[in-house]
């Protein structure tokens, strides 16, 4: 499994970095879109407005949104692309089984994406003066977030396996994610707070905003909830993916697009 992980890492890095202009373009677009949002907001608020920690929370929200969006699209986009280019069926001929291969692929592309995300954070901070904190404990809610995001990725991947064309669905999902990640859920109470607990990703994004933008210490109860939430969606997503693989094999549509 370690060899598979390293193999996937090498393949992903080579495929991405063989054409560096694509990578640079991605970083520039992500940074520019954020700067556009930032300038627009500043124009509406007036030149004397100071965003303070709100700017930092917005930066965290935006970065998480772009990261989660990438992760959620990753498996489905890869499945569709490889079905089109004709390598998908070769992947399903692996003795490791598809869920393990796609998990290894997800980890491999995540490492690359995290690095690019750090570059984007650096550029945004330089442009806006935002100062984010990176305490080591940050890793805990980040893991919970990634588990939840990969759960969703496997879920969308399952749909791509069975339904094939999920491009429209992915576009819709962007807005759903934007709502999930931009809503200031930390202040919600009562039934709305319960909703935050059971919705995917939400518990961990609140914790990340607290840690990175507001300088609040990690809430361990909140973390336990976020981890349970992440694990639940991850297991659900992988089980659904396994079922979809069987369904696609039954339909004879595994490699078609």
Partner 1 sequence: MSDLSTTPDDEARAATARSSAVLFQKPLALESEGLCKSYGRRKARFQAVRGVSLKIARGEVLAFLGPNGAGKTTTIKMIAGLIRPDVGWVKIAGQDPHREPEAHRGVGAVLEGNRNLYWRLTPLENLEYFGVLRGMSRREVRSRGLELLDAFGLLDKRKEPVQKLSRGMQQKIAIAVALIHRPQLLLLDEPTLGLDVEAGETVKKLVRQVAASGCAILLTTHQLNVAEELSDRVAIIRAGQIVAEQTTEDLIRQFSQGAAYRIEFEGELNEAKQRQVVALGASVDGQFIHYLPAPEADSATLYKILRTLEPLPLLEVRQDRPDLTDVFLQLVQTHD
Q: Angle 145-33-122 (CA atoms, 0-180°, nearest 5)? A: 65
Task: Indicate whether 22 belongs to the interface with partner 1 (CB under 8 A).
Answer: no
Task: Indicate whether 21 belongs to the interface with partner 1 (CB under 8 A).
Answer: no
Rg (CA), the chain: 19
From the list 13-21, 31-39, 62-70, 111-119, the region that binds partner 1 by CB under 8 A is 13-21
> Residue 21: which H helix or E strand, with range?
helix 20-45
Task: Indicate whether 250 belongs to the interface with partner 1 (CB under 8 A).
Answer: yes
Query: What is the DSSP secondary structure assignment for residue 218, as one 8-state letter?
Result: P
Query: Closer CB to partner 1, residue 41 or residue 111?
Result: 111
* Site residues (CB under 8 A) for partner 1, limited to 98-157: 101
Least distance to partner 1 from the beta carbon of 243, Å? 13
Tokens of 191: 């039934």
* Site residues (CB under 8 A) for partner 1, limited to 77-96: 85-87, 89-96
97 dihedral zone (left: phi>0; alpha: psi -120 to 50; beta): left
Task: Indicate whether 254 belongs to the interface with partner 1 (CB under 8 A).
Answer: yes
Tokens of 202: 């939400």
CB 3 within 8 A of CB 96: no
Query: Closer CB to partner 1, residue 88 or residue 132?
Result: 88
Query: Closer CB to partner 1, residue 214 or residue 247?
Result: 247
Q: 3-state class of 244 per DSSP? A: helix
Least distance to partner 1 from the beta carbon of 95, Å? 4
From the list 43-51, 125-133, 158-166, 245-253, the region that binds partner 1 by CB under 8 A is 245-253
- Distance (Å, rounded) from C-alpha 220 to C-alpha 164? 41
Task: Indicate whether 69 belongs to the interface with partner 1 (CB under 8 A).
Answer: no
Tokens of 229: 């939430």
Least distance to partner 1 from the beta carbon of 111, Å? 17
CB 230 within 8 A of CB 141: no
> Residue 56: which H helix or E strand, with range?
helix 53-85
- Distance (Å, rounded) from C-alpha 195 to C-alpha 183? 12
Which of 19, 43, 220, 243 contacts partner 1 by CB under 8 A?
19
Tokens of 13: 């890095």
Q: Quick one: three-class SS letters along 140-154?
A: HHHHHHHHHHHHHHH
Least distance to partner 1 from the beta carbon of 7, Å? 3
From the list 9-17, 37-45, 57-65, 69-77, the region that binds partner 1 by CB under 8 A is 9-17
From the list 7-15, 69-77, 113-121, 214-222, the region that binds partner 1 by CB under 8 A is 7-15
Which residues are at the interface with partner 1 (CB under 8 A)?
A: 3-4, 6-7, 10-11, 14-15, 18-19, 85-87, 89-97, 101, 246, 249-252, 254-255
């Amino acid at each position: 499994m370690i060899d598979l992980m390293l193999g996937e890492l090498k393949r992903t890095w080579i495929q991405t970095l063989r054409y560096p202009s694509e990578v640079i373009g991605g970083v520039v677009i992500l940074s520019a879109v954020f700067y556009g949002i930032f300038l627009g907001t500043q124009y509406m608020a007036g030149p004397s407005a100071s965003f303070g920690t709100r700017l930092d929370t917005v930066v965290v929200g935006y970065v998480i949104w772009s990261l989660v969006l990438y992760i959620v699209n990753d498996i489905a986009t890869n499945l569709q692309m490889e079905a089109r280019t004709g390598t998908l069926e070769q992947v399903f001929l692996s003795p490791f089984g598809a869920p393990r291969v796609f998990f290894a692929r997800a980890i491999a592309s995540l490492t690359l994406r995290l690095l690019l995300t750090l570059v984007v954070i650096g550029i945004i901070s330089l442009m806006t003066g935002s100062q984010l904190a990176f305490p080591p404990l940050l890793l805990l809610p980040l893991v919970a977030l990634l588990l939840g995001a990969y759960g969703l990725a496997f879920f969308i991947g399952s749909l791509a396996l069975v339904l094939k064309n999920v491009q429209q669905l992915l576009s819709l999902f962007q807005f759903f994610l934007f709502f999930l990640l931009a809503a200031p859920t930390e202040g919600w109470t009562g039934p709305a707070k319960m909703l935050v607990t059971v919705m995917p990703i939400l518990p961990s994004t609140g914790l990340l905003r607290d840690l990175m933008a507001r300088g609040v210490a990690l809430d361990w109860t909140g973390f336990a909830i976020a981890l349970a939430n992440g694990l639940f969606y991850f297991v659900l997503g992988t089980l659904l993916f396994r079922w979809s693989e069987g369904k696609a094999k039954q339909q004879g549509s595994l490699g078609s697009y």
